[in-house]
Amino acid sequence: MKTEALFNESRVICPGMVYLPSFADSDQLHQALQPVLTASPLRQMQTSRGFPMSVRTSNCGTAGWISDRKGYRYTAIDPLTEQPWPDMPEVFSSLAMRAATEAGYDGFRPDACLINYYVPGTQMGAHQDKDERDFDQPIVSVSLGIDARFFVIGPERKGTSTAVDLSDGDVVVFGGASRKFYHGVRKLKSATHAVWGECRCNLTFRKAL
């Protein structure tokens, strides 16, 4: 892997992308997540090329992001349970709205929360979030559990990346110029968190529809 610059300053990672350390209440979110995962369990989705995704996922909100051989999209119905996705807990939506406002994006009202579950050894390759209708709306990404190295490249997949080491409770908001920047998560190192155990949970809030 090429060396990448490690971001260690406060707030602005790159134009439009704001880092809010220790912004989220991890215990409260952990509690609120349990009934969501009972209703719509974590599962390993397939990429459009038929490969299993590294992370397990689920969703809550009126729209849920899915991936299968037909491609990437939002659905109102969970294909696993054939029921609507569970409601987004109020503590989730209020956190996402507060974080967006804090980062300078007023009026954000998420309708989708993608839940990404990482265990040590899993990762997320560089990608853009571009399945949403309105790219003027930011994305709020909440890190819970064990640490992970998040990286952002820019509008093209190729280029120098900037890395940010994210810990439990950290939030990254990306909108404006960075809304469609390529980003991802490096392979997780082994660790254990007192509440989340040997895993990292990422909640990604979006206005999908």
Ligand X SMILES: O=C(O)CCC(=O)C(=O)O
Report in angstroms how near the CB of residue 201 gets to ligand X at its nearest.
9
Q: Which is nearer to ligand X, 93 or 122 (CB)?
A: 122
Considering the complex, state which of residue 82 and residue 131 has its C-beta at the smaller distance from ligand X. 131
Q: Which of 97, 199 has the CB closer to ligand X?
A: 199
Distance, in Å, from the CA atom of 16 to the CA atom of 9, rounded to the nearest integer, reads: 15
Q: Which is nearer to ligand X, 63 or 114 (CB)?
A: 114
Using Cβ positions, the residue closest to ligand X within the complex turns out to be: 202
CB 96, CB 106: distance < 8 Å: no
- The phi-psi region of residue 97 (left if phi > 0; otherwise alpha if psi is between -120 and 50; otherwise beta) is alpha
Query: Which contiguous run of DSSP H or E holds residue 113?
Result: strand 112-118
User: Using only C-alpha atoms, what is the Rg of the chain?
Assistant: 16
Which letter does DSSP use for residue 197 in this model?
B
Q: How far is the CB of 84 from ligand X (least distance, A)?
A: 21
* Distance in Å, CB of 100 to ligand X, minimum: 16
Pick the closest to residue 152 from 48, 17, 32, 39 (CA basis): 17
Q: Give the residues lining the site for ligand X (CB under 6 A).
A: 114, 116, 124, 129, 141, 143, 150, 183, 185, 202, 204
In the bound complex, what is the minimum distance in angstroms from residue 6's beta carbon to ligand X?
16
- Say how far apart CA 89 and CA 34 lie, in whole Å: 11
Give the SS3 label for residue 69. coil
Collapsing DSSP to helix, strand or coil, 178 comes out as helix
Give me the least distance between CB of 144 and ligand X, in Å please: 10
- Is the CB of 55 or the CB of 97 nearer to ligand X? 55
